[in-house]
């Protein structure tokens, strides 16, 4: 998938347990990032059960931590894995952002991201021209 590079990893002020949890989320989402879209959606729909909607601050903190522990997720073309790991880390913390994938036509590109209240979290402004194709919002909201 295409997209702008993720911001460089900032020095983390999180504890070792949170960094370990983030690394675990990166590891467990690697096979999911390679799965077919219907399988990804099914797994995410199952995982979101019982989670409260995430705030923008919670989603941004999760994304920042994921990027700080994984070069793959911080890479410019790591958006799918980054968005999945961010979503799973949010779920481990009891909340759920909206997980999204989408496309643009000029120039053609695909992208994956997390959003809260319809706004992408941690994405550059120029990334807003992607039309969502597949989303998994918190339970109770339309999908």
pLDDT of residue 21: 97
Tens of pLDDT, residues 2-40: 554 444 444 446 799 999 999 999 999 999 999 999 999
Mean pLDDT of 59-66: 98
Pairing of strands 119-120, 131-136: unpaired
- Which candidate, 141, 135, 76, 142, places its Cα nearest to that of 100? 135
* Residues 47, 94 contacting (CB under 8 angstroms): no
pLDDT of residue 30: 96
Q: Band of the pLDDT at 52, cuts 50, 70, 90?
A: very high
Crossing angle of the two packed helices 16-33 and 37-47, in degrees rounded to 10: 140
For residue 53, pLDDT over 80 is answered with: yes
What is the pTM for the complete model shown?
0.87
pLDDT of residue 76: 87
Q: Band of the pLDDT at 128, cuts 50, 70, 90?
A: confident
pLDDT of residue 57: 98
User: Backbone phi, then psi, for 136, in 5-degree steps?
Assistant: -130, 90
Tens of pLDDT, residues 77-116: 999 999 999 999 999 999 999 999 999 988 899 999 999 9
Burial category of 131 from C-beta neighbours within 10 Å (exposed 0-12, middle 13-18, buried 19 and up) = exposed
C-alpha gyration radius of the chain? 14
pLDDT of residue 74: 95
Q: Where are the alpha helices (DSSP H) in the chain?
A: 16-33, 37-47, 56-69, 71-74, 79-92
Q: Band of the pLDDT at 1, cuts 50, 70, 90?
A: low
Question: What are the residue boundaries of the structural domains of the chain, listed by start?
Answer: 16-136
């Amino acid at each position: 998938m295409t997209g702008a590079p993720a911001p460089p990893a900032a020095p983390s002020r999180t504890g070792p347990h949170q960094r370990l949890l983030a690394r675990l989320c990166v590891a467990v989402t690697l096979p999911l990032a390679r799965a077919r879209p219907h399988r990804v959606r099914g797994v995410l729909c199952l995982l979101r059960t019982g989670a409260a909607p995430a705030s923008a601050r919670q989603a941004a903190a999760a994304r920042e931590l994921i990027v700080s522990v994984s070069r793959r997720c911080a890479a410019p073309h790591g958006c799918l894995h980054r968005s999945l790991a961010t979503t799973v880390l949010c779920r481990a913390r009891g909340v759920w952002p909206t997980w999204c994938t989408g496309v643009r036509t000029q120039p053609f590109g695909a992208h994956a991201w997390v959003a809260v209240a319809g706004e992408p979290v941690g994405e550059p402004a120029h990334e807003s021209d992607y039309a969502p194709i597949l989303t998994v919002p918190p339970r109770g909201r339309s999908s």
